[in-house]
Amino acid sequence: MRIKKYTVDNVLEGMQQIKNELGPDAVILQSRKVRQKGLRGLFVPPKIEITAAVDSVVAPAAPAAEDRIEQKLQEEVGELKQLVKKLVASQQKQHIEGKGPFAYWMQRLIDNDVEPGLAQEILAEIHENFAAENGLADEVVKMIVKNKVRDRLLTEDLPLRSRILAFVGPTGVGKTTTLAKLAAHFSLYRNQRTGIITIDTYRIGAVEQLRTYADITGIPIEVVMTPKEMPEALQRLADREVILVDTAGRNAKNTLHVSELAAFLAPLPAPEIFLVLSASTKANDMRLIIDSFRKVKYNRLIFTKMDETATYGVILNACRQAELPVTYVTTGQNVPDDLEVADAEKIANLILGG
């Protein structure tokens, strides 16, 4: 019997080498993931070490039998893939357990939808600062990780001088509801003269939805149909200390719609433009939304529906990608109560799971 070890980048490459050198009858004895030693091992993908054996090396198959062998090989690759998946999962588990006190929290970040690259970056930074520390208490370890997350969350209150606030984002994320919550906050709690402009004449019932809120609070509302009408509407609300601008939800994949929206907002003087995102949006979709709305020149983020998800990592990913602060989060459908000023410490705790 001949036994040989192969260290390769992926399983397919390994199978090809084994087939070429040991022939189609080779069997896999063991397969495991191996990392380079030292800190560098954290940054480069692990290699796969495959141990294969064969009774005796056979000559390459005759062309007539190639199809059958190909099929058999594919089946074996399929089985091997499954086997490797299981092995990798168990190796990862051992890896985490053997990798020191921070590894558990890193996995927790990833399980909470923090992008693996970002979690790695946090881990590397912690390793740099705390590699020499041994026997840290669990609570201390958690605090170190939490502080790293918190520092990346970039929460920031709205400046007091802000007068014009516009809300943009995908459909149904809670733009109008959040606007209504803030309108009540400014007019009832801060006693500021508040006005509303809506440019959402796109969806049937949108104006009525807003008018209902406005009527309850006695706030004047202007409906703007084209970008040209915007300056007049602003003029009519000239005595207002705060003006909230509602917009129609836009599909992030439709660049034309996003450009139209940008044209409506262009005449606004010194606006704060909030990109409203639902905390329950999938990580990949969130990335697309953040990119495609850039044309609108939003400068702040709001996360809604915090009550509808159990994982909050997308908030950290979004702050990193947009490089912008989160100003508010919303926690339910109740107007005006379910609104909070974003608190980095609180969000970091949610991301780490309590």
Ligand X SMILES: Nc1nc2c(ncn2[C@@H]2O[C@H](COP(=O)(O)OP(=O)(O)OP(=O)(O)O)[C@@H](O)[C@H]2O)c(=O)[nH]1
Residues in contact with Mg ion by the rule CB under 5 A: 175-176
Cβ proximity to ligand X, 33 vs 305, nearer residue: 305
Cβ proximity to Mg ion, 118 vs 182, nearer residue: 182
Cβ proximity to ligand X, 203 vs 236, nearer residue: 203
Indicate which of Mg ion, ligand X, none lies near residue 173 (CB less than 5 to 8 Å, by partner kind): ligand X
Indicate which of Mg ion, ligand X, none lies near residue 332 (CB less than 5 to 8 Å, by partner kind): ligand X
The one segment of 43-51, 147-155, 288-296, 302-310 that binds ligand X by CB under 6 A:
302-310
Indicate which of ligand X, Mg ion, none lies near residue 187 (CB less than 5 to 8 Å, by partner kind): none
Q: What is the 3-state secondary structure (H, E, C) of 110-175?
A: HHCCCCHHHHHHHHHHHHHHHCCCCCCCHHHHHHHHHHHHHHCCCCCCCCCCCCEEEEECCCCCCH
Q: Is the dihedral of CA 89, 95, 98, 101 positive or negative?
A: negative
Q: Which of 57, 55, 7, 58 is nearest to 30 (CA)?
A: 7
Cβ proximity to Mg ion, 176 vs 327, nearer residue: 176
Which residue, chain included where needed, has tokens 């520390």? 133
* Least distance from ligand X to the Cβ atom of residue 332, Å: 5
| Paired residues of 198 in beta bridges | 223, 246
Which residue, chain included where needed, has tokens 């141990």? 51
Gap between the Cα atoms of 31 and 21, Å rounded? 17
Footprint (CB under 6 A) of ligand X, residues 222-251: 248-249
Gap between the Cα atoms of 192 and 9, Å rounded? 63
Cβ proximity to Mg ion, 175 vs 287, nearer residue: 175
* Least distance from Mg ion to the Cβ atom of residue 174, Å: 8
Footprint (CB under 6 A) of ligand X, residues 140-199: 171-177
Q: Which of 56, 43, 239, 46 is nearest to 127 (CA)?
A: 43
Cα end-to-end span (Å), the chain: 55
Instruction: Record the tokens describing residue 345, joined without a space.
Output: 């410490």
Count of positions on this chain that bind ligand X (CB under 6 A): 21
* Least distance from ligand X to the Cβ atom of residue 307, Å: 5
Q: Which of 198, 199, 225 is nearest to 212 (CA)?
A: 198
Q: Which of 317, 340, 309, 286 is nearest to 114 (CA)?
A: 317
* Least distance from ligand X to the Cβ atom of residue 96, Å: 34
DSSP string, 12-41: HHHHHHHHHHH-TT-EEEEEEEE--SSGGG
The one segment of 16-24, 33-41, 67-75, 328-336 that binds ligand X by CB under 6 A:
328-336
Is 332 a residue that touches ligand X (CB under 6 A)? yes
Is 113 a residue that touches ligand X (CB under 6 A)? no
- Binds ligand X by CB under 6 A, chosen from 6, 152, 183, 200: 200
Binding mask 1-40 for ligand X (x = CB under 6 A): ----------------------------------------
Give the containing element (helix H, strand E) for 47. Answer: strand 47-54
Indicate which of Mg ion, ligand X, none lies near residue 304 (CB less than 5 to 8 Å, by partner kind): ligand X
- Binds ligand X by CB under 6 A, chosen from 211, 331, 349, 353: 331
Interacting residues toward ligand X by CB under 6 A: 171-177, 200, 203, 206, 248-249, 304-305, 307-308, 330-333, 338
